[in-house]
Amino acid sequence: MNRFRNTLFALLLLLLPATLLAQYQPSASGEVIKHIYYSFSYIEDHEQPEWVYYKLTPSLVNGSQSRTDNFRPDPNVSTGSATLADYKSSGYDRGHLCPAGDMKIDKSAMSETFYMSNMSPQEPSFNRGIWKKLEATVRQWAIDEGTIHVATAGVLSTSSDHIGTNNVTIPKYYYKVVYAPDSEKMIAFVLPNKKSSSTLQSFVVSVDKVEQLTGVDFYPQLDDALENKLEANSNATQWSFKQYNSLSIKHTATTESTSSATQCKGIAKSTGNRCKNKTTNANGYCYAHQSQAPGYVKPKSSNYSDRCCATTKAGARCKRNASNGTRYCWQHQK
């Protein structure tokens, strides 16, 4: 009997996140797919979602799970999702909609953020700049508020440009809508898909504005009077714009880069002089000169499916998984 109860309890725990996902799910004009920690409405004509929705909590943000980088098509999309080939050599990043950094609670949560259905073509300077700052700010809001609800995607009607054989639309703008139920406040952003040095506050708009741009009805489950009041508001002063920073991850990185670091024994090919990099590698060679280390054996690329063979600038081996058919992750491809 106890075994039955334990099994039933475990099944309920598995079902609980998916149930919570529907709490404030936006209206949909595409195929609605529900993963464990986020859901989305997939628009086949654009090969990406019109929205990705998820509930963000401190436990999701403060987890210790590292990135998996296992980009792959989403088998749950009935018409087939975009593929890695669509983005290859396109000049655009595979921009996360539900960020990997929001799903650090466990390997399953992290892994499902790397479905290609959760990607959208983003200018590298945008994805790694202002968009990254916004994602970090939203994470901090989850810490401050306890629980927030997030909806985000590209504004699909703003572009006719595409990449890949599947014609993945390149949005000119991206939006993010955030609702904090405990403090009864909302905020929304619309950002151009390009490099920006402007403040995040300068991109704040009302939720009503995002609904006009996208045709999506956000938070229709709310009482109409409350919904109308919150969605008309565009007051950025109600929110702190401090960016989330995991102290534990920062501490680990600092330790790796400074603990027992010595000058690399390698010889720079360009000058013929000893490398000036510092490294904590036991063999005494930095990330750039591992091939010069005594006894080094170059791994075979074929059928290689293991940890990335590159060494980080801190002198430690990369923790990401290698991409299929190579010895390196996406960042260290050679």
Catalytically annotated residues: 96
Does residue 169 contact residue 48 with C-beta atoms inside 8 Å? yes
Does residue 49 contact residue 40 with C-beta atoms inside 8 Å? yes
Which H/E stretch holds residue 331? none
Q: What is d(CA 77, CA 70) in angstroms, rounded to the nearest whole number?
A: 17
| Paired sense of beta strands 168-169 and 173-180, if any | unpaired
CA dihedral 145, 94, 35, 218 (to 10 degrees): 50
Q: What residue ranges in 181-242 does DSSP mark as E strands?
A: 185-192, 204-205
Coil, strand or helix at 53: strand
- DSSP β-bridge partners for residue 204: 189
- DSSP β-bridge partners for residue 329: none
Give the HSE-up count for residue 284: Cα atoms under 13 Å, Cβ half-sphere: 9
CA 1 to mean position of chain CA atoms: 42
Q: What is d(CA 166, CA 87) in angstroms, rounded to the nearest whole number?
A: 10
Does residue 39 contact residue 32 with C-beta atoms inside 8 Å? yes
